[in-house]
Structure 1
Amino acid sequence: MTEATSRLRELNLRRRYFDLVAAGTKTIEVRVKYPHLADLTAGDTIRFRIKGTDETCEVAVKRVTQYPDFETLLDGEGPADIDPTATRDEQLANIRAIYPADKEALGALAIEIGRLG
């Protein structure tokens, strides 16, 4: 993908996950398959922001994989790249605390990322 066709997305991220992305230890971001993310693709850039602050971290999207739910996503991706500080069961509970069942029903995205700069 050329720079002319790559897009910049701005997404909020909680402090805990922002710090892991900034450190380069979180390389898979989990999101619900909302319509505004349906066309997210390798080559795009995401600027993560902690809501209410000027803190940002830019990453390149390397891959986007769709899953029917969070359990299948965790099994397919493995938990270590999603949150190296939590077990699989802790991660599932944490993700579901952010996204309730009606959101999970939309599908899940595993977004492989790499730090820029």
Structure 2
Amino acid sequence: MLDITTWPGDVDSFVDAMVWPFAPKHFCRSYTTAELDRIMTARPRSSTGVRAREMNLYRRYFDLVAAGRKTIEVRVRYPNLRSLKAGDHIRFVCGRDDALTRVKRVSRYGNFEEMLDAEGPANVNPDSPREQQLADIRRIYGPEKEALGVLAIEIELLQPATA
């Protein structure tokens, strides 16, 4: 049995002093897997100080954005994107690479075909014909997602890709 009567502080400080070398309090905290993932993969703040929305892209589309060749990003109208407007910043992410863009315009469409006809397939993906783009987009977003509405986000590259 330990004698804490000679300890100069209170019981809590005694316990803290005894436990600290073996299990610091912050190590005892329970983290969820999602919290650990966020902590371990958190990106440092942008050196430009720009607050940007992050969006993930497949590598082939990311490379086109990072090269400044893809000027229209296609998304379905999820609730979190409804407030997107010209002047907002988007940081596109693919693995450890990212590219900062500014939104020039956001247009809303009823479906992907209408969007491709209005925006021009070359602005969405200059390396792929219209019908192939339509098939690829519909492979990513099923009919239930397309029913939410379609956004064509015109972007301009501000900061080339960084790893």
TM-score (norm 1): 0.91
Any stretches of 5+ residues in structure 1 without a counterpart?
1-5
Give, as a single letter, the amino acid of the residue that structure 2 aligns with 1:97: R
Query: Which gives a bigger RCO, structure 1 or 2 (Cα 8 Å, sep 6+)?
Result: 1
Aligned runs of 1:16-27 on 2, under 5 Å? 16-27=60-71
C-alpha distance in structure 1 between counterparts of 2:117 and 2:86, whole Å: 22
| Amino acid paired to 1:57 | A
2:65 partner letter: V
Q: When the two structures are superposed, what TM-score results if normalisation uses the length of structure 2?
A: 0.66
CA 1:7–1:33: 2 relative to 1, 3 Å: farther
2:84 aligned with 1:40: yes
Are 2:118 and 1:76 equivalent residues in the alignment? Answer: yes
Amino acid at match of 1:43: G
Tell me which amino acid in the other structure corresponds to 1:29. E
In the alignment of these two chains, the number of paired residues is: 110
Structure with greater proportional strand content: 1
- 1:1-117 correspondence runs (5 A): 8-50=52-94, 53-117=95-159
User: CA offset at residue 44 of structure 1?
Assistant: 0.3
State the Cα distance separating 1:7 from its structure 2 match.
5.3
Q: Identify unmatched segments of 5+ residues in structure 2.
A: 1-49
Q: For residues 7 and 105 of structure 1, what CA distance do their matches in structure 2 show?
A: 30
1:22 counterpart letter in structure 2: A
Question: What is the CA RMSD across the aligned residues, in angstroms?
Answer: 1.1
Question: Partners in 2 of 1:55 and 1:84 — Cα distance?
Answer: 21
Q: Which runs of 4+ in 1 moved over 4 A?
A: none
Deviation at 1:8, TM superposition (A): 1.7
Larger radius of gyration: 2
1:51-89 Cα offsets, whole Å, 9 max, x none, are xx2210110000000000000000110101000000110
SS at match of 1:59: strand
